[in-house]
Amino acid sequence: MALELNTKAPEFNWVDEAGINHNSTELSGKWTILYFYPKDNTSGCTKEACDFRDNMERISSYDAQVIGVSPDSLKSHNNFTQKFDLNFQLIPDSDKAICNLYNVMGEKSMYGKKYMGVIRTTYIISPDGIIKSIYNKVKVEGHASKVIEDLLELKK
């Protein structure tokens, strides 16, 4: 089932690097840029993460936060975060439960082989948990800037 604009964002749980359980309701009170990406340390995913990292001061000035989600493990996320000095949280979704909740799994193709994987997708979620923007099949180039522009418009 596709998620729609102006509907409540699905709630989800995760465990952080300290082994502490969290719920997405903890993200409320701020605008949230929730982005889903296929894999740590790949060229497109690295470029996207670094673009959000490099724009974090601007994003924070709009009382917003960035959260990245992929099926990678916590260890992989920790290495990716350290390697590229990322300044936002990455949530591991090894069982793809969050990806399925947000309807970002789909058929992909590489070297002629078809497989199910994460379709690069971003949501802007309001402080009260409502989906305000959806970006499907994201092209990495210029994406962070577009999200920031739209966030500014949404805050007006």
Unique residue bearing structure tokens 């673009």: 51
Angle at 129 between CA 81 and CA 154, to 5 degrees: 85
- Active site amino acids: 45
**Do the bridges between strand 64-70 and strand 89-92 make them parallel or antiparallel, or are there none, so unpaired?**
parallel
| Contact indicator for 11, 25 with CB cutoff of 8 Å | yes
The two structure tokens encoding residue 33:
């840029």
